[in-house]
Amino acid sequence: MEPLTRQKFSELLSQRVMFLDGAYGTELFKRGYIKNREPIELLNITNAKAVLSLQSDYVCAGVDFLLTNTFSANRHKLMKLGYDEYFKEINQSAVKIAKEATKVANKQVFVLGDISSVGEMIEPLGELKSKYVYNIFKEQVEVLVDVGVDGIIIETMSDIKEAKLAYLAARDVAPEIPVLVSMTFEENGVTVTGTSLEVYVALFNDLDVDAIGINCTLTPEKMVPLVKKLVALSKKPVFVEPNAGKPTLSADGKLTYKTTPEEFTIYIEDYVELGANIVGGCCGTGPEHIKYMVQHIGLKRPKARKVEELNVVTSRVHMFNVAPFLVVGERINASARKKLHNEIREFNFENVLKLAKSQEQEGAQVIDVNFGIESVLSEEHFSKAIVELDKIVSIPISFDIQYNEFLESALMEYPGRPLINSSKATKEELDKKIRLLKRYGGLLIVLAMGKEIPKTAEERYTLGKMAVEYLESQGIDRSRIFVDPLVLPIGANQDYNVTLETIKKLSSDGIKTMIGLSNFSFGMPNRDELNASFLALAMHSGLSGAILNTSEDATMKILRGMIRILGKESARISEEVKSSEL
Amino acid sequence: MEPLTRQKFSELLSQRVMFLDGAYGTELFKRGYIKNREPIELLNITNAKAVLSLQSDYVCAGVDFLLTNTFSANRHKLMKLGYDEYFKEINQSAVKIAKEATKVANKQVFVLGDISSVGEMIEPLGELKSKYVYNIFKEQVEVLVDVGVDGIIIETMSDIKEAKLAYLAARDVAPEIPVLVSMTFEENGVTVTGTSLEVYVALFNDLDVDAIGINCTLTPEKMVPLVKKLVALSKKPVFVEPNAGKPTLSADGKLTYKTTPEEFTIYIEDYVELGANIVGGCCGTGPEHIKYMVQHIGLKRPKARKVEELNVVTSRVHMFNVAPFLVVGERINASARKKLHNEIREFNFENVLKLAKSQEQEGAQVIDVNFGIESVLSEEHFSKAIVELDKIVSIPISFDIQYNEFLESALMEYPGRPLINSSKATKEELDKKIRLLKRYGGLLIVLAMGKEIPKTAEERYTLGKMAVEYLESQGIDRSRIFVDPLVLPIGANQDYNVTLETIKKLSSDGIKTMIGLSNFSFGMPNRDELNASFLALAMHSGLSGAILNTSEDATMKILRGMIRILGKESARISEEVKSSEL
Ligand SMILES: [Zn+2]
Ligand SMILES: [Zn+2]
Ligand SMILES: [Zn+2]
């Protein structure tokens, strides 16, 4: 049989709704194979028949994808349980058993290598280092891929950073096969670590995953609202695996899941109706649930979905819409602050954190991070800073980092959809940023300049537009780009109308713009007066965001005032359009 | 001989420099005619020959204008001295003597009825009422005109309000003959009551006077800088009469003026060189000074002058350039403040004054005065308020008064060049305001509306422009007009771009614009955010002034910021023009 390419995976999903299997843990427990504290994955080498039997049942039930019994079989988790010496054997055996099981099928069944959490928290929530965790995942994926899985499924993740690291490991090891990612949410639509479904989807929409899913934790019924959000926001195929209800603990210590195959299937039908591409079961579901589901859903074309663009930047826990206006705080900037720069060099982030916190309180939606002269810094300065900020600051970060390797370590550490600040509009620099945007997601600010700053608005506009079109040709959507039309100091007698004109031209093409506002008043007294005034003019010209000094009261008032004015204006216009249509 | 019309006066002045006479008081004292405490004007009836002799000497010296010996002969001053029963006789006789004296001339010599201060201060500097003082002057001018003076000269005034009242009286009595007005200044260019030469000229440029002069107090040398200012700023013919130096008091109690006829004439030549139209002498000068002057100057065409436009509004002591931007404080507005309105009704102006003072401190350049519902008020509410404001507030006033008779009493009382707020753009209303502008001077705000507010910018612009052109056709210069393009509440879903567009169109025609800024945010929360934002946009569109809330910090910051930005921009542009011309 031909191997499962990403292309083929995508084609299959476009043809019909496909089926995942059900639970392993709860089912193997029910069947009496689980001893205290022993990972169920140990069965792969101690009782392969038990696993094969369950998997054969799933195959007979009609699944399209069979998962390997490797959910907890990463080296870190096995080590904690004392079984890490069997790491390789457990994973290799798992793939073999699954492949064996698929043989009983009367259709092609694909084997997905199952990956989940390392079972301990990563910094700053816990002690583990990102690179260590990345390597743990990488090692497991390598084994699974070596033995021949058709794809990788990352499941039941509750920390978005861990999900991202697992994804990066899987994609790095296996660029050619499908990688499916799924996180698990509480009833309020947020993971136990505070990440909302929206933040999760916003990030993974940017990444090179083949499907985005949600699984576990919730009953089929409680999962419906989350499925609605997921199908509305995900640009990728969607998969859903609910639990078979909420477990009850019986007198003899047994967990019982009460949702019947029939009830389970009613909700699965709802998911499919909403537009889910792949459905299956999580804890408490067994072959009967899957069989009933497959029979009832049968061959069904996936429902077409209308996807809302998530025009947002996010941290782990906060998401800000780019519209109507994105406010980026500029004050973590060590380029002109020797003391701050020295503190950073010594890994003393106290003032960085204070500045972040105060900007957040003043109304910043994103915090720009610029550590000044980078030749005296190391990757650790950046990755450590991101971890520290993640602890204390809940708003997103704008990465104002010059050296690409430092930028990449910071992005690796970042638990959200970032803003990257910035790239010149040269192919060489854009190519570097495109790689990072694809690997880590996020939005990019492109400066409307090459080696020099063009003098006229027409030139800046043309350069900005060309950059946007090049990025689009490389798969980076226009919605992920801001063009910076460049603000020059009025003290140097620069013509600020060039900037305003560039903004107008770009925004009439639907291209977002972002300025470094304070540069306008560079070297002048009473900078807030000048900054606030210019902000009003730039916003009226169509500006989409600014990096600015949130401690300037007048500037923040103009910001709020102009947002209200422009909001009123667009409401008025759409009102006019409506009444003219009547 | 034909009488002196204003037309003829103007023609004569365009042909050659003309001559006034010298002093009466100091000269008659020197000749031994003056007894203690007796006004020299008493001589007109007690020793007409003495007066005739001096005046004949002046005629022989070659004057073109002979003044009547009536400087202190107004009824109020005579009354203070105990001679008011002779008021009529003194003035009548004075004209007759002067006319008699002119008969010895070999050219046409005109008799100017001489008027000066009532000798006591008007409210608020003193106790006298404006109407009383106006009537005192009117009575004297009536007598002088009755007997047949060719013109009226108002001299040596140090209170601009008194000068204005004297002018109004003269012009009201004698619309057909020349009226010349002169104030007297200290060496620093300011009268003893605090009015600068600029404020004086700014007001009298607007009024229907035939010449503007300065006289007395200063030596010929010290007067030079003031003459320079006067010739640079006066739109009317200019006259100058210095003293014959600084007097010294001799041991026997005699005042001696030391400037010789030769030295006197050196400076007179300077004045003529600068562009003075009429020259003569004040205290200490006698027939020898005048004779020497006339012989030396001879027949001379007046020097052409280049007049700088005084685009200002003024109070008694303060002047604000309309450019780059005029800031009018809006807070004395009793229309929506019942308590304030009630206080005003009861002539309690405490809070009005407090509001004025605080707006001045916040940066207002002009204070708008709106007393709300006027049907329950009287003329006295307005004239009294202006007197009270004159006491305590040093910045100019914007007269936001509906009833024309109330507006006129307020203007009558006002010691400066006011702003009149406002007139609709209808002929009927404009005509009423034109009369007031001509009589009291000042600038006018014209609303770009007739009975209703036009919807489009094109209509508002056209209406505003037509109003400006009509005012110009009636002698009101474009520099004295602001058009209000009308700001409507954004809360009512009005299209603010209509206002901005109207501003742009008007200002590209060199028409000044003024808005009532706060109307923009009417009924909305956080009004300062909206007002400040809209101010930036309007100023960028070319706005020339705004009535606004000076207690809004953000608004004041935008004001200062935009003034700096636009100032930088126009400097940059003129720099570019300069370098392109090289
Ligand atoms: Zn589960
Ligand atoms: Zn004098
Ligand atoms: Zn005099």
Indicate the residue type of A323.
A
Lowest mean pLDDT among A27-41, A358-372, B530-544: A27-41
| A311 occurs within a structural domain | no
Whether B266 and B224 map to the same domain: the answer is yes
Q: Are B463 and B425 in contact (CB under 8 A)?
A: yes
Q: How many domains does chain B have?
A: 2
Whether B223 and B106 map to the same domain: the answer is yes
User: For chain B, what is the mean pLDDT?
Assistant: 96
Residue of chain A whose alpha carbon sits nearest to that of B575: A493
| A317 occurs within a structural domain | no
Residue of chain A whose alpha carbon sits nearest to that of B573: A495
Percent of chain B with pLDDT over 70: 100
Look at the alpha carbons of B345, B347, B348, B350 in this order and tell me if their dihedral is positive or negative. Answer: positive
Q: Are A196 and A190 in contact (CB under 8 A)?
A: yes
For residues A393-412, one letter each, b for 16 or more C-beta atoms within 10 angstroms of the residue's C-beta and e for the rest, the string is bebbbbbbbeeeebbbbbbb
Tell me the per-residue pLDDT of B412-433, one tens digit each, with 9 for 90 and over: 999 999 999 999 999 999 999 9
Number of Cβ pairs < 8 A linking chain A and chain B? 109
Torsion of CA A445, A450, A452, A454, to 10 degrees: -80
Q: CA-to-CA distance for A137 and B255, rounded, in angstroms?
A: 111
Whether B159 and B267 map to the same domain: the answer is yes
Q: Are A519 and A491 in contact (CB under 8 A)?
A: no
Can you give the pLDDT at residue A109?
A: 97
A527 CB near a chain B CB, below 8 Å? Answer: no
ipTM for this prediction: 0.91
A432: tokens are: 């570097």
Higher pLDDT, B29 or A55: A55
Q: How far is the CA of B25 from the centre of ligand 2 (A)?
A: 9
pLDDT confidence of B1, banded at 50, 70, 90?
A: low
| Winning range, highest mean pLDDT, from A568-572, B34-38, B346-350 | B346-350
Q: Is A523 helix (H, G, I), strand (E, B) or coil?
A: coil
| B359 occurs within a structural domain | yes
Tell me the per-residue pLDDT of A421-454, one tens digit each, with 9 for 90 and over: 999 999 999 999 999 999 999 999 999 999 999 9
Residue A57 reports pLDDT greater than 90: yes
Q: Which residues lie across from A122 on neighbouring strands?
A: A128
A540 contacts B571? CB cut-off 8 A: no
Whether A354 and A234 map to the same domain: the answer is no
Q: CA-to-CA distance for B160 and B200, rounded, in angstroms?
A: 7
The last residue of one of the domains, among A277, A297, A317, is A297
- What's the CATH number where B64 sits? 3.20.20.330
pLDDT confidence of A483, banded at 50, 70, 90?
A: very high
For residues B122-159, one letter each, b for 16 or more C-beta atoms within 10 angstroms of the residue's C-beta and e for the rest, the string is bbbbeebebeebbebbbbbbbbbbebebbbbbbbbbbb
Q: How far is the CA of B465 from the centre of ligand 2 (A)?
A: 47
Whether B319 and B381 map to the same domain: the answer is yes
pLDDT confidence of A580, banded at 50, 70, 90?
A: confident
B234: tokens are: 């006066």
Q: How far is the CA of A389 from the centre of ligand 2 (A)?
A: 81
Tell me the per-residue pLDDT of A406-417, one tens digit each, with 9 for 90 and over: 999 999 999 999
Q: CA-to-CA distance for A353 and B566, rounded, in angstroms?
A: 38
| A303 occurs within a structural domain | no
* Mean pLDDT confidence for A307-334: 96
Q: How far is the CA of B92 from the centre of ligand 2 (A)?
A: 23
Q: CA-to-CA distance for B472 and B479, rounded, in angstroms?
A: 10
Can you give the pLDDT at residue B13?
A: 97
pLDDT confidence of A582, banded at 50, 70, 90?
A: low
| B392 occurs within a structural domain | yes
Q: Are B312 and B319 in contact (CB under 8 A)?
A: yes
Q: CA-to-CA distance for A274 and A259, rounded, in angstroms?
A: 21
| A167 occurs within a structural domain | yes
Residue B35 reports pLDDT greater than 80: no
Q: Are B430 and B470 in contact (CB under 8 A)?
A: yes
A528 contacts B568? CB cut-off 8 A: no
Chain CA centroid to CA B79, Å: 29
The last residue of one of the domains, among B267, B297, B327, is B297
Tell me the per-residue pLDDT of B8-25, one tens digit each, with 9 for 90 and over: 999 999 999 999 999 999
Whether A231 and A357 map to the same domain: the answer is no
Whether A544 and A419 map to the same domain: the answer is yes
| B1 occurs within a structural domain | no
Q: CA-to-CA distance for B117 and B136, rounded, in angstroms?
A: 10
Nearest to A397 by CA among A450, A348, A447, A443: A443
Residue A37 reports pLDDT greater than 90: no
Q: In this structure, which ligand is nearest to the CA of A219? A: 1
Residue B582 reports pLDDT greater than 70: no
* Mean pLDDT confidence for B251-279: 94
The last residue of one of the domains, among A282, A297, A312, is A297
Q: In this structure, which ligand is nearest to the CA of A155? A: 1
Tell me the per-residue pLDDT of B386-401, one tens digit each, with 9 for 90 and over: 999 999 888 999 999 9
Interface test with B, best of A533, A534, A565, A566 (most B CBs within 10 A): A533
Q: Is A238 helix (H, G, I), strand (E, B) or coil?
A: strand
User: Which chain A residues contact residue B571 at CB under 8 A?
Assistant: 493
Residue A252 reports pLDDT greater than 90: no
Q: CA-to-CA distance for A50 and B165, rounded, in angstroms?
A: 115
Q: Rounded to 5 degrees, what are φ and ψ at A452?
A: -125, 165
Whether B389 and B325 map to the same domain: the answer is yes
Whether B16 and B114 map to the same domain: the answer is yes
Whether A244 and A338 map to the same domain: the answer is no
A532 contacts B561? CB cut-off 8 A: yes
For residues A482-507, one letter each, b for 16 or more C-beta atoms within 10 angstroms of the residue's C-beta and e for the rest, the string is bbbbbbbbbeeebbbebbbbbbbbbb
Q: Are A329 and A421 in contact (CB under 8 A)?
A: no
Can you give the pLDDT at residue B575?
A: 83
Q: Are A55 and A97 in contact (CB under 8 A)?
A: yes
B572 contacts A529? CB cut-off 8 A: no
B531 contacts A536? CB cut-off 8 A: no
* Mean pLDDT confidence for A188-214: 98
Whether A364 and A422 map to the same domain: the answer is yes
A569 CB near a chain B CB, below 8 Å? Answer: yes
CA distance B579 to chain A (A): 14
* Mean pLDDT confidence for A145-166: 98
Q: What is the DSSP letter of A248?
A: E
Whether B279 and B417 map to the same domain: the answer is no
A82: tokens are: 């004392």
Q: Is B134 helix (H, G, I), strand (E, B) or coil?
A: helix
Q: CA-to-CA distance for A234 and A218, rounded, in angstroms?
A: 20
Domain containing residue B217: 6-297
Residue of chain A whose alpha carbon sits nearest to that of B572: A493
CA distance A273 to chain B (A): 42
B493 contacts A572? CB cut-off 8 A: yes
Q: Are B456 and B499 in contact (CB under 8 A)?
A: no
B224 CB near a chain A CB, below 8 Å? Answer: no
Residue A581 reports pLDDT greater than 80: no
Q: What is the DSSP letter of A519?
A: G
- What's the CATH number where A534 sits? 3.20.20.20
Can you give the pLDDT at residue B569?
A: 87
Tell me the per-residue pLDDT of A98-134, one tens digit each, with 9 for 90 and over: 999 999 998 999 999 999 999 999 999 999 999 999 9
Q: Are A383 and A405 in contact (CB under 8 A)?
A: no
